[in-house]
């Protein structure tokens, strides 16, 4: 389940034919927003009406029934909303004409302008984990102290200002559950969620970003080991080594059960084997846990199969006979 949206929330439109004569859909312009149609309260957005060859006259109209505010016109076909306020939100269309004709073009598709930061931000988490095996699904939980009418899940696109609505859930509640998958590389990325009350154009502040990573796509077997072994005492220095015989890709070291329990390091060749060194020590009880390492392509959220788990336990100095580190 991963529905695609070409534009945000197009709404129905009605305008009296007695005002303008439309020449049909074949010369319909397009309307875009820079940097994004989802705008923080107090921020700025520029709307641009596109058509080639360029119309000599353009008009912008609000199509959700509320009055259209006065907008700053930067150019013949660009309009700026700044600072962003609730009065600007709504669904917009544009249309234009050339000087040599009295006919206006068809209307562009509707583009929703949404303001964020109206309510306190929710939180976003992943179950069972944000590291998801290829072919499996993950559930993203959006939690809020506010009871919202609607929750919206967004995924960041390939470019900085490119976003995609993944799904919208309507429920008067303080949480929503979004199922994403079965996982493919297209599902990996940065997610945020929002909530809204009453108006579909007034959203909360965004949740903190959640990175969803797909594992098992890269067929590389890694080995994770510890130095020194086998006994680790509180206060001792500890180093974990991630080994690979076939790759000098960067590596992540992750501790199970933590939303942000991963550390990044580059690889280096040592005695014919690529390895990455993760110094942990001097260790304390906070270092206890189960660790795995992964390799990945640079700047990618598509990772290898994990190494076998390495279980790290910390003993007190007065109990040196305890076996503290085991490998499975």
- Domains with residue ranges and CATH for the chain: 25-116 (2.60.40.10), 123-216 (2.60.40.10), 219-327 (2.60.40.10)
Q: How far is CA 136 from the centre of its chain?
A: 19
Contact 148, 114 (CB under 8 A): no
Of residues 193 and 324, more confidently modeled: 193
Q: Over 60: is that where the pLDDT of 317 sits? A: no
Tens digit of each residue's pLDDT (9 = 90 or more) over 233-292: 888 888 888 887 666 577 888 888 776 667 776 655 555 567 788 888 788 888 888 999
Q: Which residues contact 120 (CB under 8 A, 6 or more apart)?
A: 144, 145, 146, 204, 205
Cβ-based neighbour number of residue 49 at 10 Å = 25
Which is it for the CA torsion 23, 25, 29, 31, positive or negative? positive
Tell me the C-alpha distance between 297 and 72, whole Å. Answer: 45
- pTM over cut 0.75: no
pLDDT grade for 299, boundaries at 50, 70 and 90:
low
Residue 295's Cβ-count burial label (10 Å; 0-12, 13-18, 19+) is buried
| pLDDT tens for each residue of 24-76 | 445 789 999 999 899 999 999 999 998 877 778 888 888 876 666 777 677 78
Cβ partners under 8 Å of residue 300, min gap 6: none
Q: What is the pLDDT of residues 216-246, one digit of tens each?
A: 876 677 888 888 764 678 888 888 888 876 6
């Amino acid at each position: 389940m991963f529905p695609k949206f070409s534009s945000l929330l197009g709404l129905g439109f009605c305008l009296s034919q007695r005002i303008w004569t439309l020449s049909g859909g074949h010369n319909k312009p397009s309307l875009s927003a820079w940097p994004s149609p989802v705008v923080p309260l107090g921020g700025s957005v520029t709307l641009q009406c596109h058509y080639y060859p360029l119309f000599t006259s353009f008009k912008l109209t609000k199509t959700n029934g509320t009055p259209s505010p006065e907008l700053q016109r930067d150019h013949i076909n660009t309009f700026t909303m700044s600072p962003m306020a609730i009065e600007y939100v709504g669904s917009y269309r544009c249309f234009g004409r050339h000087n040599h004709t009295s006919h206006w073009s068809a209307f562009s598709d509707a583009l929703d302008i949404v303001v964020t930061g109206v309510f306190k931000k929710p939180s976003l988490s992943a179950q069972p984990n944000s590291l998801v095996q290829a072919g499996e699904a993950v559930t993203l939980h959006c939690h809020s102290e506010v009871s919202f009418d609607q929750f919206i899940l967004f995924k960041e696109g390939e470019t900085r200002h490119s976003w995609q609505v993944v799904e919208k859930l309507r429920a008067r509640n303080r949480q929503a559950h979004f199922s994403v998958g079965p996982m493919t590389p297209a599902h990996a990325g940065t997610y945020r969620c929002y909530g809204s009350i009453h108006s579909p154009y007034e959203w909360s502040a965004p949740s903190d970003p959640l990175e969803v990573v797909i594992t098992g796509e890269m067929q590389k077997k890694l080995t994770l080991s510890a130095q020194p072994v086998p006994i680790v005492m509180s206060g001792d220095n500890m180093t974990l080594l991630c080994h690979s015989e076939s790759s000098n890709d960067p590596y992540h070291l992750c501790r199970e059960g933590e939303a942000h329990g991963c550390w990044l390091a580059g690889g280096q060749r040592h005695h014919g084997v690529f390895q990455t060194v993760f110094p942990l020590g001097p260790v304390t009880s906070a270092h206890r846990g189960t660790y795995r390492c992964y390799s990945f392509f640079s700047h990618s959220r598509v990772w290898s199969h994990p190494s076998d788990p390495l279980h790290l336990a910390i003993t007190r100095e007065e109990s040196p006979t305890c076996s503290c580190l085991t490998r499975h």
